[in-house]
Each structure stands twice: as structure tokens, then as C-alpha cells.
Copies of this chain bind each other. A is one copy, B any other.
Amino acid sequence: MRDYQSQCRVLTEEDIDALEIGSGILGTGGGGNPYIGKLRARQAIREGHELKILPIEALEDDARIVALGGIGAPLVSFERLKEGREGVRCLRALEERLGFKADAIGCEEIGGQNSMEPLITAAFAGLPVVDGDGMGRAFPEMQMTTYAIYGHNSTPSVMCDPHGNAVCFEHAITEKWHETMARACVIAQGGASVLASAPMSGAFFKAHAIPHSYTQAIGLGQAVLDARQAHEDPIKAICEREGGKHVFSGKINDLKRHFERGFNVGVASIEGLDDCRGSVGEITIQNEFLIFRRDGEMQACVPDLVVVLDLDSGLPITTEVLRYGQRVAVLALPCHELLRTQQALDVIGPAAFGFPELVYRPLAETA
């Protein structure tokens, strides 16, 4: 095991408070409820565990990074809490299968509770988490990481549930097959498990991970907290920091949301308020907020971030706690450039989500 300790930043409870908000914003409604993640992370800190971030630049090329995260539907993980050691069981079983130990833990998706899962598992295992992730946001399926998009073969992987069951996906012929089999299995396991993927090299991770995600998410959350403390507009603070736009304000007046194929899917309709009065907003959901339309016209879509915030507090709202009558702000934030290549769009563009008629226009270029 490498000694990365001296180069790590140890997170405080205040950092975790900020990460809850930042990962909630970047989660675009998904990635698991960040509040529950925060409570788990805080408990780990109070039990004496160190939650540590390692700068991505510190990684040696031949380091071995095991990325992990929760898999399932946000709705399930919100209602049924994790047993808590699923990630550690995954890591240990995978290490045993591989015959070597991981040097550091990676994050599959920075969005939502999945920002916390690697920190907690790594802390239990005495390892750091690399400051980066595979999405720069949250996406509903496993093949949607930059790791997979840029060529990492994520099997063998190990998935563990709260009951004590463990499954190793020995070999999947494609990343999509890995997703298909793991999705079926996680539904059988009750809908909320943890999965640790085949290790990546430090060189691969530095080239293909979204860098500095933890720093970004903590900074973003801190900006919201600072704005609230200073009685300034947190929504403005987010847009300025992320180069995004506040595209809609309104009240949720219709919500179709159901559990299908292991996902939360649905549509939220928003009646315009303030300067959006007379307009209707609509958000398409698959675990995350995928597409925002105003009066039928697409304003933002994957891979850019469609974010829903409480209109007054500026705090993020996840898909499973969305409800009729909420007054919300819809933001569109540009995604990282690694998500905008043609190679990436084939996997995470609107067509990959079943909307081939939509043409993705990068927000970063139109802002």
C-alpha cells in the first residue's frame, strides 16, 4: 500500500455539510439522497474515521484505484437505509478476487450520496479517495462514466447488498451488459446495493476522470452556505461559480413519477412564477433530471446539468423528494468537456436516453 497520507486533505464535518449541498446540486436530482449520505459520513467522522481526499495529481501512474458507488433507485435508498459496510465488503471481495490491494478509492459519480459512499468506505479501509470522479454529476447507468466511455473495462466487479449477499460480475462482454446484469441483480437484492469496479491505473484515472470533483462540490456547497449567511442570492452564486443559467422559476403543478426497471422515472410539470408567469416548464426524469423544456421547447438536456433548487433557500431537491406544490428554480449548468466529445455523447447524449430527436447544443458554447 502506498503512503499517500501526507498528501491528503482530511475532511471536516463542515466540509461534509458543504459537500451535501454541492453534491446535491451536481447530482441533478439523483445519485442518492445526499442528506442521508451526510449523516452516514458524519457518523463515520465522529467514530474516529478519517475521510480523506487525495489530489489527483499525486497519483502515481501504476497506482491501483478501485471506484465504487451505490447502485439502485434513489427512492429505495431513501426509504431503506444502507447496512453501512456494503462498500467495504465489495472492496475486500474484489481485492481477494484480484490478489492485490487497492491503493486508493475512486468515485463513480460525485452527485448525491454517491459522493459520500467512497469516502465512507475508504475511511473504513484506511484509504484516501482520489479528488475526481467518473461523471462530474450523476447519471442513472453504470456505462455512463468517463471511465467506461474512454475504455475502462469495469469487470470483474463486486456488488454487495445490505443482507450479506455478494455477487461478482466476472466478465461482461460490454459495459452495457455489465449494467444490464447488475441492474437486474440489484433489483433482486432489494434495490439499493453497492458496487466496486475493476481497478484503474493512476495513469488512466488522471487522463479520463473528471478532475477535482470533490474540491468543486465542496466549494460549490460552501458558496451556497456563504451566500445564505450573507443574505445574498444562493442561486446567483451557483450560476456565477459554475457558468450556468437560471432558466425557470415556478411551482410544481403535476408530477408523474414511478418505479420502473429499477429506476425512478417520470415527468414534472412546473407552472411559471415571477418572470416565467404564463409559461409551463417540464422536466423528464430517469433517476436524474434529464431534460428541461419550456413551453414545449428544449432548453437544456443531458449531458449538461438540469438542476432543481428550492426557490427560496437555493438548496437542491432530489427526484425522490420532489412533490406537488414545491416552488422551484430550474438551473442549467454546463457539463465538463470530457462529457461533450462525440464518444461521450454516444453514451450520455439525449439519444442514449431514448430521445434521438433532440439535438444537444452544449450550454458552454451558447452561454
Interface residues of A (CB under 8 A from B): 93, 97, 158, 163-173, 177, 180-181, 183-185, 187-189
* B residues in contact with A169, CB < 8 Å: 165-168
Residues of B within 8 A of A187 (CB): 184
The listed residue (B167, B172, B173, B188) touching A170 by CB distance below 8 A is: B167
Indicate if the CB atoms of A165 and B181 lie closer than 8 Å: yes
Nearest CB of B to A87, in Å: 15
Known pairs A181-B189, A183-B188, A184-B188; A167 contacts B167 (CB<8 A): yes
Q: Which residues of B contact A168 (CB under 8 A)?
A: 167-170
Query: Cβ of A189: which chain B residues have Cβ within 8 Å of it?
Result: 181
Q: Contacts A163-B177, A177-B163, A177-B165; is A158 near B185 (CB within 8 Å)?
A: no
Check B158–A164 contact: CB distance below 8 A: no
List the B residue with the shortest CB-CB distance to A170.
B166
CA distance A167 to B166 in the complex (A): 11
Q: Give Cα distance in the complex from A181 to B163, angstroms.
A: 12
Interface residues of chain A: helix, strand, loop or mixed (majority)? mixed
In the bound complex, residues from chain B placing their C-beta under 8 Å from that of A170 are 93, 158, 166-168
Compute how far the CA of A187 lies from the CA of B181 in the bound complex, rounded to whole angstroms: 9
- A259 smallest CB distance to B (angstroms): 15
Task: Give Cα A167 to B169, complex, Å.
Answer: 4
CA gap between A97 and B98 in the complex, in Å? 10
B164 touches A173 (CB 8 A): yes
Assess whether A171 is in contact with B164, with CB atoms less than 8 Å apart. Answer: yes
In the bound complex, CA of A185 to CA of B180 (Å): 9
Q: Is A171 within 8 A of B163, CB to CB?
A: no
- A166/B171 in contact, CB under 8 A: yes
- Tell me how far the C-beta of A52 lies from the nearest C-beta in chain B, rounded to whole angstroms: 28
A351 to chain B minimum Cβ distance, whole angstroms, is: 23
Most buried by B among A164, A183, A188: A188
Distance A189 CA – B185 CA, assembled complex (angstroms): 11
Once A167-B168, A168-B167, A168-B168 are accepted as A-B contacts, the answer to whether A180 and B188 lie under 8 Å apart by CB is: yes
**Are B173 and A165 in touch, CB under 8 angstroms?**
yes
> How near does chain B come to A172, taking the closest CB pair, in angstroms?
5
